[in-house]
Amino acid sequence: MIPEKLKKGDEIRVISPAKSLAVVAPEQQDLAIERLNQAGFNVSFSTYAAESSHFISNPVDHRVADIHEAFSDPNVKAILTTLGGYDSNQLLSHLDFDLIQKNPKIFCGYSDITALTNTIYKKTGLVTYSGPHFSSFGMEKGIHYTFDHFMKVFTETEPQKIYPAFDWSDDRWYLNQQERQFHTNPGYEVLHEGVAEGTSIGGNLCTLNLLQGTPYMPSLEGTILFLEDDLLSDPFTFDRDLQSLIHQPGFEGVRGMIIGRFQKESNMDDDMLIQILKSKKELGHIPIIYNASFGHTTPIFTFPIGGQVRIEAKKQASAIELLEY
């Protein structure tokens, strides 16, 4: 079930299912609103989006109410999350999936929001999206690639190829917008060559793994896995998190894997990643692309959770193509 694409004048609702909008600097909020307005959209905020919290996140019932309100409101055509965090999975058993299924619309975010995007797809069949948060659009520099892919995915229907970004950054841009370091992106790297089509699933690996053994874990059969992790995932943590996913029922049906670029503080380099991937015989038969432009470095592309994708993993010229999204 693919939601309707956005048109000029459509309303985008901002919700905070993890960290609150209160932690985002006012000038960054203003810039994000301005960018979305200039693209032709109207921005609104949920009742509790900016509620200040003394805990990790705001009360569960407030965050759930905002999700239900956004899906119920016929004027809202897309839902953007404020930010990631640590505890979106607290909400899963409280969500009204019948309500969501009867009111399909765009739902987008990444990082901790992986718990929600994959769960909603599993429980309702609604295609959701791993892509920028609302706060991402408060970035002054290095936002073009992110915004361009966001617009393409949410306003177009034709198959589209995702090309690597020209450069990348791992700065804490939200603390200092001016002192940024951008690095030339050499493009996709390939471990195993091959061509595959399948259903796109995944996002943040450690968050996706929180769904294991629950009714919220999507099937891995016939999938192309998109996996990334943040600076807290060092090589040892990524290794065991990936192994845990490999142990899940249906993993033998995975058709391909795309791994997002790691943050510098994770201390994961290409040699270490290759060593980890080659240590797992279950991966030996599938095409694998790594250093793709999504995850916790910037910029990032948007991809569907539950859409159809095609990958060509070739040493000389790899491609990622969104077929149905």
CA distance 280 to 303: 26
51 catalytic? Reply is no
Q: Looking at 46, 88, 111, 200, which residue is catalytic?
A: 111
285 is catalytic: no
Q: Which of 233, 296, 312, 318 is catalytic?
A: 296
Q: Given 57, 133, 136, 228, which residue is catalytic?
A: 228
Known catalytic residue at 228: yes
Active-site positions?
111, 228, 296
